[in-house]
Amino acid sequence: MGKIFRYLMLVCCVTLLSSMALHKFYVAVFQMEYVPEKKVVQMTSRIFIDDLENALEKKYKRKFYLGTPTEIENTGEYLKLYLGEKIKVKINGRESAVTYLGKETEDDVLICYYTLRAENKIKTIEVTNTTLFEMFADQQNIIHTKINSNKKSLLLTNDNPKGVVKF
């Protein structure tokens, strides 16, 4: 009886631990920093390449091979369209166009660069960010801001895709 109990406990522990290892954490990180002398907010995003490739393939019905020698030639245009639909920003209550600048890869992460015009002193930033929400119910988009030396963050989810930070 003792051997059977120990065997069952071992099987339960292995099953529990292996199922925990299979669970993937879906997160993308966005960083926004105000550069007053240029009157812009510089933004970067860090998104897992495989997740973004799956979203792009689902939307545009083609393979992109991000960060590889076989990456399609006009990937930047597709990224600009996709991310332009997913990321909306209001500065001081006014819509601010998010301008996609380019990308680079770092290991399994795609880093994208953007700018937003910010003519006046920033008092509020409202961010709506639904990047990858159509792919993963538990996707989280973390927004870190550094405005006028103040650091604040937002956590955006499918249930709460919009947030406001005040400075």
Q: Is the pLDDT of residue 15 over 80?
A: no
Domain-located, residue 141:
yes
Average pLDDT over residues 5-21: 43
Residue in the block written with tokens 């870190």 = 144
**Cα-trace Rg, the chain:** 20
Burial class (CB in 10 A: 0-12, 13-18, 19+), 31: middle
The predicted-structure confidence for 43-85, as pLDDT tens digits, reads as follows 999 999 999 999 999 999 999 999 999 999 999 999 999 999 9
Between helix 75-86 and helix 49-60 the angle, nearest 10°, is 90
**What is the C-alpha separation between 131 and 55, in angstroms, rounded?**
9
163 and 154 Cβ atoms separated by less than 8 Å: yes
28 and 139 Cβ atoms separated by less than 8 Å: yes
Residue in the block written with tokens 């907010």 = 41
Domain-located, residue 88:
yes
Domains contained in the chain, number:
1
Domain-located, residue 19:
no
Domain-located, residue 4:
no
Domain-located, residue 14:
no
Which pLDDT score, from 0 to 100, does residue 120 have?
82
Domain-located, residue 5:
no
**Residues 6 or more apart from 38 whose CB is under 8 A from it?**
none
Tokens of 66: 């991000």
Tell which residue, 91, 99, 94, has the closest CA to residue 42: 99
Which pLDDT score, from 0 to 100, does residue 4 have?
53
Q: pLDDT class for 23, splitting at 50, 70, 90?
A: very low
Q: Is the pLDDT of residue 11 over 50?
A: no
Domain-located, residue 70:
yes
How many angstroms separate the Cα of 31 from the Cα of each of 54, 63, 112, 113? 23, 28, 10, 10
Residue in the block written with tokens 């937003």 = 116
Tell which residue, 120, 110, 111, 157, has the closest CA to residue 137: 157
Q: Which domain holds residue 126?
A: 27-166
Average pLDDT over residues 1-29: 55
| pLDDT mean across residues, the chain | 89
Domain-located, residue 40:
yes
Q: Is the pLDDT of residue 5 over 90?
A: no
Which pLDDT score, from 0 to 100, does residue 16 have?
43
